[in-house]
Structure 1
Amino acid sequence: MKRGLPGWATRLRVTLWTLIVPPTSWAAHFLFSYLWAAVSCAKVGAFATVPWLFVAGTVVALAVILTSGWIAWTQSNMPGDEPPHEDSTDIDRLRFLAKSTLLLAGLSFIGVIFTALPVVFIGDCR
């Protein structure tokens, strides 16, 4: 194991599939947020006073994004050559995809927060 990581974290590899996890989570949260607002406004006429379903969806999206970012961060910091990682080796490809996933995770985390802010600041459906 590297740097005290759990066994499952060292076996994971960042690929193009893992690259799309953070923006997909953000998009799913965005869709979920608008559906939740539409149903709340249609049924109740206002947002719920304690929107448990919305809070749970936001926490799940943020947890998925943070997990993906943590895996990418650990794999982008693997020991080896200094940047730029421009050679055609497996470790350089892994570092490039890991760094890209890390940046997308950061952007997606901010996107989920900004998607959730209207529920905090807007209390009605006008």
Structure 2
Amino acid sequence: MRDRRPHWSERLKVTLWTLIVPPTIWAGHFLFSYLWASISCAKVGAFATFPTLFVAGTVLALILIALSGWIAWNQGRMPGGRAPHEDSTDIDRLRFLAKSTLLLAGLSFVAVLFTALPVIYLRDCL
């Protein structure tokens, strides 16, 4: 029988460091959004007709957050006992961190979308 090499997403372990990745990406996108808006308003006086750089940054942030959530979802589906996972075992801690990361990824995904909404609806700099 051949040994199955684990997929790259299975080799990654969800830790406290991976827990902060989605909100950090959202915070970076938030800073990028305000910097982009202030620079484009200062130079042009209005948002660009099609903000290519802003759309590229938003899509990149959404992809990275979705990737983080997908990795956490895969880590949370590891085989083990039935729910509730309330014991103090390594697999239960991994599932807790994976579920927390997945929820933060969902929240951060929505937050990036809400951060991008003003560019869609607002065209003038006031």
Q: TM-score, normalised by structure 2?
A: 0.94
Q: What is the Cα-based RMSD across aligned positions, in Å?
A: 1.5
Tell me the equivalent position of 1:98. Answer: 98
| Counterpart mapping for 1:6-85 below 5 A | 7-85=7-85
Tell me the equivalent position of 2:113. Answer: 113
Tell me the matched-pair count: 123
Q: TM-score, normalised by structure 1?
A: 0.94
1:79-126 alpha-carbon deviations (Å, 9 max, x no partner) = 211222111111001000000000000000000000000000111112
Q: How much does 1:6 deviate?
A: 6.6
Give unmatched runs, 5+ long, in structure 2.
Answer: none
Partner-residue secondary structure (3-state), 1:71: helix
Q: How much does 1:51 deviate?
A: 0.4
* Residue type of the alignment partner of 1:112: V
Partner-residue secondary structure (3-state), 2:83: coil
CA–CA separation in structure 1 for the residues paired with 2:77 and 2:7:
17
Partner-residue secondary structure (3-state), 1:84: coil
The 10-residue stretch of structure 1 (70-79 or 32-41) with the greater mean CA deviation from structure 2: 70-79
* Residue type of the alignment partner of 1:114: F
Structure with bigger gyration radius: 2
* Residue type of the alignment partner of 2:85: H
CA–CA separation in structure 2 for the residues paired with 1:33 and 1:81:
44
* Residue type of the alignment partner of 1:22: P
CA–CA separation in structure 2 for the residues paired with 1:56 and 1:6:
32
CA–CA separation in structure 2 for the residues paired with 1:56 and 1:29:
11
* Residue type of the alignment partner of 1:33: S
* Residue type of the alignment partner of 1:28: G
The 10-residue stretch of structure 1 (71-80 or 14-23) with the greater mean CA deviation from structure 2: 71-80
Partner-residue secondary structure (3-state), 1:85: coil
